[in-house]
Structure 1
Amino acid sequence: MTTPPEPTTQPFEPHHGAFGSRLNWLRAGVLGANDGIVSTAGIVVGVAAASTQRGPIFTAGIAALAAGALSMAVGEYVSVSTQRDSEKAMLKLERHELETEPMAELDELAALYEAKGLTPATARTVAEELTDHDAFAAHVDAELHLDPDELTNPWQAAISSAIAFTVGAILPLLAILLPPASIRVPITFVAVLLALTITGWISARLGGANPRRAIYRVVIGGALAMAVTFGIGHLVGGAVG
């Protein structure tokens, strides 16, 4: 009797465009939180190496949080706005081509389905039926892989990025401020590395990648960032002092 193969774990592949878009936003949110953790941790650890007073550390941490969140928001807004403009331009061009060259567009749609493995006759039939139903929707889906009702939103991207960065930045800020001065840096190191382990695992699972490799990358990168900024803060603090 043949034993059926054991099921393997595969990354979830959404077939619905809107769900896939939400998954991409979730992945971007995790990466934004990761940026907030690493950048803010580096700054507050560097300041803590130069000063044991909570005031300067708190000021630097809040400044890093605000600057990072705003920078992420502006960057995402500009990037997504450019993408949205490109998507609108492609949709406008597709409408124009359907109005001016309907037969050429029908041939193009049939060729697209034929390239996916359909026979020429079947591809032509599918193209004609989809064109009769909604030519624009058929071409946008098969040719551009876009949903006109689900275009990227620059404001949503900006706000999401700012929130994700802020959430990530809060952890190292609390970790450096709450403990006594003698142990605040080690506690911050441990808290940040644990948080990076979680974000690395989540981002890997969302992307279907190897979690261990992703965790190694973010943890080693975060540890190096904090070690470097701690060393710089210690040297600069000693020189200024």
Structure 2
Amino acid sequence: MSSAGDARQDRQGSGGHPDEPHAAGGLGSRLNWLRAGVLGANDGVVSTAGLVVGVAGANATSTELLTAGLAGLLAGSLSMATGEYVSVSTQRDSERAALAVERRELAATPEAELDELTDLYVAKGLTPRLARQVAVELTAHDPLAAHAEAELGIDPEELTNPWHAAWASFTAFTVGAVLPLLAIVLPPADLRVLVTVVAVLTALAACGWGSARLGNAPVRPAVVRNVAGGALAMAITYAAGVLLHASTG
């Protein structure tokens, strides 16, 4: 979630155009959504690969593998979507409550709120005189937006939509899960585990590279962690499947 609406950009008191911080915040938000999509797809790859490889270790037929894979895909994607919807709805409710408090304070004590906004910009590094000027001008333009962004880190016009978050998680997980599902059911029986492992590790390397690039983090450690984690998950579930088949077969 996965997370997607946590990016918060501080308004820079540099005398720039008021829309510039919003543009930067919007870019950060879009990057967070994209990063969440990459990580959601990564979850779909790992969980579904672990499931189908484990079932394959129990010497399952192609029909049984397809059934298990589809069940895992649906269960995982719906779980991701539900969890994201609940999480983002809770965040949105909290943001709305904070904005409601800010509205009441602006209506009841506007001068005190102006002083508070001035102090916030002074704390960001502006001189008291310039901070007061910025606070006055932004308050005249949109007092709620000015206070919400500087004090709460919230853009009242860009609250995260929980339905968008749910659909994004559902889609990302499903896209990731399709790869190991196809890789396990399409090849011949004697090659399907090998094909699945190669396809999954390649996809995980790509996901690790993508998440690292989006987060401006070192690529190599992210790829190694991703590939090692996926390989370990498949090894454990495959071994469990083999042991189960040996004990019951």
Give the TM-score taking structure 2 as reference length.
Answer: 0.89
Aligned counterpart for 2:140 among listed residues 122, 132, 140: 132
Q: Secondary structure at the match of 1:150?
A: coil
Aligned pairs (5 A) from 1:220-231: 220-231=228-239
Q: Secondary structure at the match of 1:16?
A: helix
Confirm whether residue 206 of structure 1 aligns to residue 214 of structure 2. Answer: yes
Aligned pairs (5 A) from 1:159-174: 159-174=167-182
Confirm whether residue 18 of structure 1 aligns to residue 21 of structure 2. Answer: no
AA at the equivalent of 1:234 = V
Q: Secondary structure at the match of 2:143?
A: helix
AA at the equivalent of 1:130 = L
The corresponding residue for 1:36 is 44
Deviation at 1:89, TM superposition (A): 0.6
Aligned counterpart for 2:107 among listed residues 93, 99, 103: 99
The corresponding residue for 2:124 is 116
1:49-79 deviation line (CA, Å, top 9, x unaligned):
1124101111110010000000000000000
Number of aligned residues: 228
Q: Distance in 2 between matches of 1:134 and 1:45?
A: 56
The corresponding residue for 1:6 is none
The corresponding residue for 1:154 is 162
1:130-155 deviation line (CA, Å, top 9, x unaligned):
22222112111211222111101111
Give the TM-score taking structure 1 as reference length.
Answer: 0.92
| Residues 73, 161 of structure 1: 8 Å contact kept | yes
| Residues 52, 181 of structure 1: 8 Å contact kept | no
The corresponding residue for 1:79 is 87
1:151-204 deviation line (CA, Å, top 9, x unaligned):
011111111101100000000000011111111101111100000000000000
Q: Secondary structure at the match of 2:160?
A: coil
Deviation at 1:15, TM superposition (A): 5.1
Structure 1: which 5+ runs fail to align?
1-13
Q: Distance in 1 between matches of 2:223 and 2:160?
A: 29
Q: Which runs of 4+ in 1 moved over 3 A?
A: none
The corresponding residue for 2:96 is 88
AA at the equivalent of 2:217 = A
Confirm whether residue 68 of structure 1 aligns to residue 76 of structure 2. Answer: yes
Q: Distance in 1 between matches of 2:133 and 2:32?
A: 34
AA at the equivalent of 2:117 = L
Q: Distance in 1 between matches of 2:88 and 2:198?
A: 35
